[in-house]
Structure 1
Amino acid sequence: MNPRRRTLLLGAAAAALARPALASDWPSRPIRLVVPFAAGGPTDFIARLLATPLSQALGQPVVIENRPGASGNLGAQNVLDGEADGYTLLHNTVGMQAVNPLMYPQARFQPARDFVPIATTAAMPNVLVVHPARLPVKSLADLVRLGKNSANGLTYATFGAGTSPHIYGALLQKAAGFRAVAVPYKGSSPALTDVMAGQVDFVFDSFTTCIGQIQGGKLRPLAITASQRSPLLPDVPTLKEAGYPDVDLKYWFSLQAPAQTPKAVVERLRAAAASAVNDPGYIAALRARGAEPMATRPAELVAFVRNDAQRWTSVARGLGIRPE
């Protein structure tokens, strides 16, 4: 035998022995679901709702582990640093998939290359909100008019460069032709505090984290980033209805596994996740907080994640989104 061929065959055999064999009884122990953001946010909220029906479908506990940092990159890297055996999963966002590679070019991984999608889990609209007394506007048209007539422009809160509040705010300025300065915060809570204190003029916040203040009259909603109005806010128009269809990018979440996960495990995970995402209790709990159930057929899943992430990447590049 050719010495080079013999070396290659021996190397392949050694690599195969080094990989853990797929147990026929998989899963035989709990599944760790990493949420790469702090507890209480929308990514965490959806993951915790999903954990119950997913656990029932798999016959094993699904344990949530929060590992925040670097806009989700620390948690993603933690998943990749473990075994690709189906026992550690990631709850991802379109922002992590599409915008993080622009924001963190030094990252050791590439989402599209190093992860495989298991299922889309939900879509979460953002709501454009202002303080009802501190900013004299009652509609998006009023806000745009105020922005155009303001000598210094408006201000809007973000959760950092490249986050959905930043992208939505930048898109609205571009589409409507007014100027607003982005003011970065570490999350929804401090951003909403300053909107309600009049320190910043507006914010695109996630539905789940601001619906309570809206219903309590502390915030005024002007528009939502969704394809149709929310039953929780039936009088609030979508951005498309308000005349800005190009601002309506769907912000979705997905369950993902390391790309080297055995194909048989990926297929079983996809079947279990499909069952969980279509669970009536899960869907009802999402809708009660303004989220949208989002089930994508396995045959269309990889193409959807790739194509929609590329759309977000194109938008972020067009807006000049860069690391701060």
Structure 2
Amino acid sequence: MKLRAYLIAAASLACMAGAPATSLAKYPDRPITLIVPFTPGGTTDILARAVGDKLGKAWGQTVIIENVPGAGGIIGTEKAAQAKPDGYTLMMGHIGTLGVNPSLYAKKHIEPLKMFEPVAWVARVPNVLVVNPKKLPVHDLAGLIAYAKQHPGKIDFGSGGNGSAAHTATEYLMLKAGINMTHVPYRGTGPAVTDLIAGQNQLMFTGVPAVLGFIQSGQLRALAVSSTKRVAALPKVPTVAESGLPGLAGFQADQWYGIVAPAGTPHDIVAKLNTEINRIISAPEEQHHFEGQGAIPNPTTPEAFKAQIRSEIARWKEVVEKAHMAIN
């Protein structure tokens, strides 16, 4: 009897050991939901749809983009974190939701590295400083800073919400340049850009993909990019550091975007997602597409993406504190 009981137990353990491989072999066998914690039209949404489309075609399953805006990305973030950790609900996170919000909303105890499994670091996206040329009579960064110093608090800058990438980058620029402008938060980058073009606000410092078409059409004027090198899609636009202005040497405030899964998602599923997403963004045609939109593909491991999130949480905590951005 003891031998029989042992054999039954051993068989059960063998089945359990084989379960992950079986689930991995079948994954995905139904649609995947990719949550975007902002409204359509922003860089997060643009990149999510680009990756989701290719992922869906590669695996023969629909990738549903679900926009869940509100509270600077917190509503969508919490929904994604609370989803079943089975690989069928993912989130396109970014510098704001994964790096800034833990400090910005400290009382909400947002802990990305406890809430999520980092899956794939999709891209770095330089910000571009744009103005409505009909509302702000400046042609370069030096002119903007001079104008802002002459009119403290009189320039309204839009963003996708408190703690969004655009908000954080602009606060960082103001700290470094010693200027003061007024923040106008929106429920997403798309609405903020729409109002910028309409003249309801005057300036934005946001991801290149969200405004590239409007720069090319002349509706917006680009003054500078946040990266350490010029952007291929905007070769004539200088970097902030190239201005040579006091406090701006070495300036860098790029956005970054990556896919995460709810904590507890099986490691084999995370690895499969990482491999496929890296393959997608490494393909020459996709690299060309990303770079044409002002994004830089960044294929790497889940561990490297995790390290990036950890370092950015520490970096932006200092900016949030110095700029008094924290929201109670």
Deviation at 1:247, TM superposition (A): 4.2
Tell me the residue number matched to 1:228: 229
- Residue number in structure 1 paired with 2:10: none
Question: Does the CA-based 8 Å contact 2:38-2:188 persist in structure 1?
Answer: no
- Please tell me whether the aligned partners of residues 207 and 290 of structure 1 are also in contact (alpha carbons under 8 angstroms): yes
Shift of the alpha carbon at 1:190? 4.2
- Alignment check: 8 A CA contact 2:152 2:180 kept: no
Give the 3 Å change call, closer, same or farther, for CA 96–151 of structure 1 in structure 2: closer
Query: 1:50 maps to what in 2?
Result: 51
Q: How many residues align?
A: 306
Distance 2:200 2:65 in 1: 35
2:195 and 2:266 map into 1 onto residues whose CA distance is 47
Hey, what does 2:259 align to over in structure 1? 255
Q: Indicate conservation of the 8 Å contact 1:165/1:205, yes or no.
A: yes
Q: Deviations over 1:181-228 (max 9, x none)?
A: 222333334434444454433221332222222111121111011232
User: How many Å apart are 1:39 and its aligned residue?
Assistant: 2.1
TM-score, length-scaled by structure 2: 0.83
Change (3 A) 1:218 1:56: closer
Question: Cα deviation per residue 1:112-171 (whole Å; 9 max; x = unaligned)?
Answer: 211011111112222111222332211110111112223665332233322222222222
**Matched residue of 1:25: which SS?**
helix
- SS of match in other structure, 2:26: coil
Match of 1:26 in 2: 26
Partner of 2:131: 130
Cross-structure match for 1:281: 285
User: Percent identity between the aligned chains?
Assistant: 36
SS at match of 1:212: helix
Structure 2 residue aligned with 1:269: 273
Higher helix fraction: Structure 1 or Structure 2? 2
Equivalent residue runs for 1:239-254 within 5 Å: 239-243=240-244, 244-245=248-249, 247-254=251-258
Contact kept? 1:58, 1:272, Cα under 8 Å: no
Distance 1:248 1:167 in 2: 12
Cα drift, residue 49 of structure 1 = 0.7
Q: Corresponding residue for 1:6?
A: none
Residue segments in structure 2 that go unaligned for 5+ positions in a row: 1-15
Cα RMSD (Å): 2.5
For residues 28-47 of structure 1, the C-alpha deviation after alignment (integer angstroms, 9 at most, x for no partner) is 32322222222222111101
Could you state the TM-score of these two structures normalised by the residue count of structure 1?
0.84
The aligned residue for residue 5 of structure 2 is none
Matches within 5 A, 1:43-82: 43-58=44-59, 60-82=61-83
> What residue is the counterpart of 2:327 in the other structure?
323
Preserved CA contact (<8 Å) 1:53 1:279: no
Partner of 1:169: 170
SS class of match (1:226): coil
Instruction: Report how far residue 174 of structure 1 moved.
Output: 1.9
Find the aligned partners of 1:60 and 1:190 in 2 and give their Cα distance: 31
Alignment of structure 1 residues 289-304 onto 2, 5 Å: 289-304=293-308
Give per-residue Cα distances to partners, 1:279-310, cap 9 Å, x unaligned.
22322222222222122244533222221332
